[in-house]
């Protein structure tokens, strides 16, 4: 799966959590721009994990602040 | 100079906002006199205690108190030392023997608090490259134990067997795995389907730690907890418990059948680098633990209290944390913090103390009035409590 395809899939997974319909770019932050609280983060991470059959541990989540970093992390975890 | 306290501004503002409404501060109550495990004097008023975790009412047990006084006389007020240096007296060994008898297990290790038991065991046994799979609603001491260690931390949705299995399945081959569950989750008072969850954990070769802080002494035929009740205690590798609830004093412990368990005493930092419990505390704990082995009648009465209060509050129109009573905790869900604090204060004016619980301690941002029953609450007291809830609920606009 290419980075572009991964990005498109994650973008579609964000939609139900993107309550305000913010335009998402690589620089969009989850806590700031998308206003994800801890419960949203848990559900969103679970959706990504299930889609890609991966684990994103809390330790890894702590390093991910924006959309671009998440795409990169998923690409790396899928390698 | 940037003020390091600026990060607390939001909670300072929330607290000031709440107190500005004129409500009594729910987090600074003082008990001036404690009359019994179920009654104290607060603000000069006799108050029924319904938020103490004193499930088995052991705090005023005459045998327990006598054991503490004797140890105080014979061993002094404190040990001034670590368990591994000068802080192990014969009462420390004795309470560990009492725990081994209580659980019928090979090893028991006592910590200075329950918090430290989780902190110590979890951070020590799950190291770099290992995986911890835990329920998202786990107690703060479990989360802090995870944070203190170097393992990869993977939470799953509360009590969700399928979510837990998916995560276990994805863990790399050969990695060490620790599944952490609780018997009773203290915020809503719900129990875990331990039998099913532990079977799945074992299928994936994980070790299992169960925190039975809120079930010890009460749940299970011998009061060993939810795992005993569900017939899966033999598959639990580590049971964590506390002396500060049913046992009625303070301290924490881990019991285990792991053949190498004793090495924990040398490698577990929250055990080594702190002073041991005062001898009077461990003497009271040992006496209480042994008495709890033969407390079937009290357990039956506590179940009766739990069922009566649950039904009584539900019939009055309160929204509760569980459909059926599952433990000695009955949680009443409040619409928001402000009205929860109002209800809490109205109950205090009625002469009833419960815990006001709010985020981040609570799941899903809920405000709760958490009631914990005691085996020594009389049937009459429980009826009085239901009446107090009804009057306070009407006054505070909750029902």
- Using pLDDT thresholds of 50, 70 and 90, give the confidence band for residue B363: confident
Would residue B130 count as lying in a domain? yes
Q: Does B361 touch chain A (CB under 8 A)?
A: no
Q: What is the mean pLDDT of chain B?
A: 97
Q: What is the mean pLDDT of residues B158-185?
A: 97
Nearest-angstrom CA–CA distance, B154 and B133 = 5
B6 domain-assigned: no
Number of compact structural domains in chain A:
1
Tell which of B242, B262, B292 closes a domain.
B292
Q: How close is the nearest chain B Cα to the Cα of A56, in Å?
A: 8
Rounded Cα gap, residues B369 and B389, in angstroms: 11
0.90 exceeded by pTM: yes
Does residue B382 form part of some domain?
Answer: yes
> A–B: how many Cβ contacts below 8 A?
33
What pLDDT digit, counting tens, does each position of A10-59 carry? 999 999 999 888 999 999 999 999 999 888 999 999 999 999 999 999 99
Nearest CA in chain B to A40: B364
Domain presence at residue B8:
no
- For residue B145, the tally of other CB atoms under 10 A from its CB is 31
Element (DSSP H or E) covering residue B41: strand B39-42
Contact: A55, B152; criterion CB under 8 Å: yes
Mean pLDDT of B298-311: 98
**Tens of pLDDT, residues B19-44:** 998 888 888 899 999 999 999 999 89
Q: Which residues contact B258 (CB under 8 A, 6 or more apart)?
A: B107, B237, B238
Structure tokens at A47: 């959706």
Asked whether residue A1 carries a pLDDT value surpassing 90, the answer given is: no
User: With 90 as the cut, is the pLDDT of residue B5 above it?
Assistant: yes
Q: What part of B 160-179 touches A (C-beta under 8 Å)? A: 163, 166-167, 170-171
Shortest alpha-carbon distance between residue B202 and chain A (Å): 19
Q: Is residue B4 part of a domain?
A: no
Note whether A78 and A6 are within 8 A (CB).
yes
**Taking residues B339-354, what's their average pLDDT?**
96
The residues in B 30-49 lying below 8 A from A, measured between CB atoms, are: none
Q: What is the pLDDT of residue B179?
A: 98
Nearest CB among A37, A50, A58 relative to B153 is that of A58
Mean pLDDT of all residues in B303-319: 98
Task: Say if CB B156 and CB B287 are below 8 A apart.
Answer: no
Give me B228's structure tokens: 């005993």
Q: What is the pLDDT of residue B26?
A: 84
Q: What is the CA radius of gyration of chain B?
A: 21
Distance from C-alpha of A17 to C-alpha of A40, rounded to nearest angstrom:
7
Q: For residues B309-324, give the mean pLDDT.
A: 98
Domain that holds residue B45: 13-56+296-395
- In chain B, which residue ranges form alpha helices assigned H by DSSP? 9-20, 62-75, 90-103, 114-125, 140-148, 161-170, 194-203, 226-229, 264-267, 269-272, 279-292, 296-315, 337-350, 379-395
Q: What is the pLDDT of residue B183?
A: 98
Of A37, A53, A59, the CB nearest to B170: A53
Count: domains in chain B: 2
Say if residue B224 is in the same domain as residue B135. yes
Q: Could you tell me the strand order of the sheet in which B152-156 lies? A: B107-111, B252-256, B238-242, B207-211, B177-182, B131-135, B152-156
The shortest C-alpha distance from A17 to chain B (Å) reads 16
What's the token pair of residue B48?
């029924």
User: B259-297, pLDDT tens digit by residue?
Assistant: 999 999 999 999 999 999 999 999 999 999 999 999 999
Domain harbouring A40, CATH code: 1.10.1200.10
Bridge partners of residue B209, in order along the sequence = B180, B238
Taking the C-alpha atoms of residue B230 and residue B228, their distance in angstroms, rounded to an integer, is 5
Chain B nearest-CA distance from A59, in A, is 6
Q: Does A58 reach chain B within 8 Å, measured CB to CB?
A: yes
Q: Kindly list the residues from chain B whose CB atom is less than 8 angstroms away from the CB atom of residue A59.
A: 152-153
Mean pLDDT for the stretch of residues B145-160? 97
Residue B397's pLDDT band (cuts 50, 70, 90) = very high
| pLDDT band, residue B361 (cuts 50/70/90) | confident
Domain end position, chosen among B292, B316, B341: B292
B1, part of any domain: no
Residues within 8 A of B (CB atoms), A 1-30 only: none
- CA atoms of B371 and B354, how far apart (whole Å): 5
Q: Cα–chain-centroid distance for residue B230?
A: 19
Which residue range(s) make up the domain with A20? 3-78
Distance of CA B344 to the CA centre of its chain: 21
Same domain, yes or no: B73 and B123: yes
**Collapsing DSSP states into helix, strand and coil, what is residue B369?**
strand
Burial, A2: exposed, middle or buried (Cβ in 10 Å; 0-12, 13-18, 19+)? exposed
Q: Does the distance separating the beta carbons of A39 and B166 come in below 8 Å?
A: no
């Amino acid at each position: 799966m290419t980075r572009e395809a991964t990005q498109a899939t994650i973008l579609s997974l964000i939609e139900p959590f993107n309550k305000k319909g913010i335009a998402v770019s690589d620089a969009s932050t989850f806590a700031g721009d998308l206003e994800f609280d801890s419960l949203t983060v848990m559900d969103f991470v679970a959706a990504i994990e299930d889609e890609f059959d991966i684990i994103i541990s809390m330790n890894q989540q702590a390093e991910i602040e924006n959309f671009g970093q998440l795409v990169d992390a998923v690409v790396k975890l899928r390698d | 100079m940037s003020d390091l306290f600026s990060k607390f501004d939001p909670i300072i503002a929330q607290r000031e906002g709440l107190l500005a409404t004129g409500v009594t501060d729910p987090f600074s109550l003082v008990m001036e006199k404690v009359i019994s495990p179920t009654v104290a004097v607060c603000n000069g008023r006799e108050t029924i205690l319904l938020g103490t975790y004193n499930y088995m009412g052991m705090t005023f047990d005459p045998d327990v108190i006598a054991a503490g006084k004797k140890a105080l006389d014979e061993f002094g007020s404190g040990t001034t030392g670590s368990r591994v240096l000068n802080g192990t007296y014969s009462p420390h060994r004795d309470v560990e023997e009492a725990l081994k008898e209580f659980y019928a297990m090979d090893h028991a290790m006592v910590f200075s608090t329950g918090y430290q038991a989780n902190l110590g065991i979890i951070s020590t046994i799950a190291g770099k490259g290992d995986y911890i799979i835990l329920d998202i609603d786990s107690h703060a001491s479990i989360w802090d134990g995870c944070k203190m260690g170097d393992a990869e931390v993977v939470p799953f949705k509360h009590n969700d067997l399928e979510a837990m299995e998916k995560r276990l399945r994805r863990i790399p081959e050969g990695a060490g795995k620790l599944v952490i569950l609780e018997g009773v989750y203290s915020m809503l008072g719900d129990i875990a389907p331990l039998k099913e969850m532990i079977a799945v954990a074992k299928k994936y070769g994980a070790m299992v730690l169960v925190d039975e802080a809120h079930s010890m002494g009460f749940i299970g035929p011998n009061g060993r907890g939810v795992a005993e009740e569900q017939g899966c205690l033999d598959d639990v590798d580590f049971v964590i418990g506390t002396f500060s609830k049913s046992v009625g004093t303070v301290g924490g412990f881990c019991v285990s059948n792991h053949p190498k368990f004793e090495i924990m005493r040398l490698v577990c930092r929250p055990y080594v680098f702190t002073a041991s419990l005062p001898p009077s505390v461990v003497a009271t704990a040992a006496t209480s633990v042994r008495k709890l082995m033969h407390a079937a009648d009290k357990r039956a009465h506590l179940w009766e209290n739990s069922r009566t209060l649950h039904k009584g509050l539900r019939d009055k129109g309160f929204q509760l944390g569980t459909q059926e009573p599952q433990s000695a905790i009955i949680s009443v869900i409040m619409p928001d913090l402000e009205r929860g604090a109002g209800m809490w204060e109205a109950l205090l004016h009625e002469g009833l103390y419960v815990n006001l619980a709010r985020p981040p301690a609570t799941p899903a941002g809920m405000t709760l009035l958490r009631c914990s029953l005691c085996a020594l609450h009389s049937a009459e007291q429980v009826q009085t409590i239901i009446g107090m809830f009804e009057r306070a609920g009407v006054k505070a606009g909750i029902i």
